[in-house]
Amino acid sequence: MVVTERSRALPALFEYIALTEVPPLLPQPHGRPIHKATVIRWATTGCSGVRLRTVCLGRIRCTTQAWLTEFGEQVEAAHLQRQLEERGRGG
């Protein structure tokens, strides 16, 4: 990657995070951290038809904070869309 003034200004967008290191960075539902297998499942099979974007660096599968945010927004949109469709069918 070419380092530019823009990439220096936004380093968090380009810092890779190993999938096994993601759970402590996320909100903890019911006071329990999300299991690392959950994050791996988001990357491999997805959630609500959305997969977490990743890159493999050597043997370590990684994501970024920006990709986590994008994933969360897309999953939320998919949930809202499903709810609207269910209401339209009378369910």
Q: Mind listing the pLDDT tens digit for each residue in 30-66?
A: 888 899 999 999 999 999 999 999 999 999 999 999 9
Domain that holds residue 73: 5-88
Asked whether the beta carbons of 23 and 33 are under 8 A apart, the reply is yes
Whole-number Cα distances in Å, 56 to 3, 50, 63, 64:
21, 19, 9, 12
Number of neighbours of residue 42 by Cβ within 10 angstroms = 23
Q: What is the pTM of this model?
A: 0.77
Q: Tell me how many domains the chain contains.
A: 1
Cα Rg, the chain, nearest whole Å:
16
